Structure 1
Amino acid sequence: MNMMSTFIKPMHPEGRRFVAIFAAITLVLFLIWDVLGWLGVGLTIWCYYFFRDPERTPPDRPDAILSPADGIVSLIEPAIPPEELGLPETPLTRVSVFMSVFNCHVNRAPVAGTVTRIAYRPGKFFNASLDKASSDNERNGLIIRMEDGRDLVTVQIAGLVARRIVSFISEGDRLNGGERFGLIRFGSRLDVYLPEGAKLLVKPGQTMIAGETVIAETGAPIES
């Protein structure tokens, strides 16, 4: 049973119709040529695996800021949050997590708090690992107001292959740290803008697990 659970993960409902489409195409391919059919089987399995939605156990740390995505830390730099969120033009530490087509793409809340703002902006579809993806690509940003009154920003960014950002939440919703809030289809990126006073704990190149890896500590608010 433990061996089965290692390889077979639950699939998010968003993936059902895609797996069904891949499976239907696979049946047609078998009618054309067995080799193509088996290729279709491999792609169908990959599609299922892409939409996997394993359970995650957030650490019991109220000061933890969690990775919102599975993947690799591709960039860490000071940056101003997206203008459509209406925040002050003050640079914050931005941590970018790049998701390949082999990563789990369910996104999870970095911290507990209330969603005070959601803002979608259409855009281009550059490779999500590039720096300009944060400013030029299609994106969906949200502000999470933490218990101490500070705001944390996280932004879903579409990539070269990703063409659909999905959000499960609305403004005013209350989120727990590690709770699912959305997904992006087929390769993309998540940016987290750390609140002032947060202590960064990761470096570029590190592997992240959504809802479990601690990327920073909230720290104390900076006195104005």
Structure 2
Amino acid sequence: MTLHKEGTGTISLTIIAFVILNGLVRYFAPDNSLVHQIALGVSLVFFIIIIQFFRKPTRNTTKNSKHIIAPADGKVVVIEEVVETEYFKEPRRQVSIFMSPINVHINFNPISGIVTYFKYHPGKYLFAWHPKSSTENERTTIVVKHSNGTEVLFRQIAGALARRLCWYVQEGKNVEQGTEFGFIKFGSRIDIFLPLDAKILVNIDDRPVGGETVIAELP
């Protein structure tokens, strides 16, 4: 299994913490093998959870200029028409994907094109499914313009557990559909804002696969 580069520091600190924890248990309870086994077992369980969180699976994207690819693994929690107030300032179709701690947390570019807008917003850490998390939580806003003129906005949103957003995009740079644009550590959410005439191909509670599932189609 391949691990993502964003996990290097966290995994290293986790190993150090577990070595210290088990060392302290053996020091203060040298003759209690049951306590030793419990401490070791708990450490192994948490270590496996951390490892699976930073896993980096292979994704195969079928590139198509009319397709909007899921930017993340998770569950579709919002499909609605809203007024996007930061960039478009007009109605858009919003699709939101919630990522639980057990999901892969790599973020994938939904379309190919040039990054026409990027902004990082510090903010709160409301639960990612909270309606106000899209506008009040720590977040990034990214807009990509396809060569056909279509612009798509997508937003990384930190949740109650996610305290670090990572991104690899810059204004004026080209991105390719299905490649990584970022990573969010632990539970989080991604909102994507599409033209009103986009055909939504997912339903509430669907579980798209980031970088592969087609969530919408442009006319």
Say yes or no: TM over 0.5: yes
The size of the alignment, in residue pairs, is: 208
Residue in 1 that maps onto 2:29: none
Residue in 1 that maps onto 2:160: 160
What is the Cα deviation at residue 60 of structure 1? 4.2
Contact conserved, 1:82 with 1:141, CA < 8 A, in 2?
no
Contact conserved, 2:77 with 2:98, CA < 8 A, in 1?
yes
Mind listing any 5+ residue stretches in structure 1 that lack a counterpart?
1-8, 220-224
Measured in 2, the distance between the counterparts of 1:76 and 1:201 equals 11
1:35-114 correspondence runs (5 A): 35-83=38-86, 87-114=87-114
Mind listing any 5+ residue stretches in structure 2 that lack a counterpart?
26-34
Residue in 1 that maps onto 2:8: 16
Q: What is the identity percentage for the equivalent residue pairs of Structure 1 and Structure 2?
A: 36
Contact conserved, 1:25 with 1:40, CA < 8 A, in 2?
no
Letter in 2 for 1:44: F
Letter in 1 for 2:3: M
Residue in 2 that maps onto 1:29: 21
Q: TM-score, normalised by structure 1?
A: 0.89
What's the Cα RMSD here?
1.2
Residue in 1 that maps onto 2:212: 212
User: What SS class does the counterpart of residue 91 from structure 1 fall into?
Assistant: strand
CA, structure 1 residues 153+26, in 2 after alignment: closer, same or farther (shift >3 Å)? same
Measured in 2, the distance between the counterparts of 1:147 and 1:154 equals 17
Letter in 2 for 1:216: A
Residue in 2 that maps onto 1:6: none
Q: TM-score, normalised by structure 2?
A: 0.91
Measured in 2, the distance between the counterparts of 1:82 and 1:195 equals 14
After TM superposition, the structure 1 stretch with the greater mean CA deviation from structure 2, 141-150 or 92-101, is 141-150
Residue in 2 that maps onto 1:140: 140
What is the Cα deviation at residue 213 of structure 1? 0.6
The higher radius of gyration belongs to: 2
What is the Cα deviation at residue 165 of structure 1? 0.6
Structure 1 residue ranges (4+ consecutive) displaced by more than 3 angstroms after TM superposition: none
Contact conserved, 1:67 with 1:211, CA < 8 A, in 2?
yes
Letter in 1 for 2:189: R
Measured in 1, the distance between the counterparts of 2:176 and 2:74 equals 21
Measured in 1, the distance between the counterparts of 2:41 and 2:15 equals 11
What is the Cα deviation at residue 170 of structure 1? 1.2
Contact conserved, 1:23 with 1:40, CA < 8 A, in 2?
no
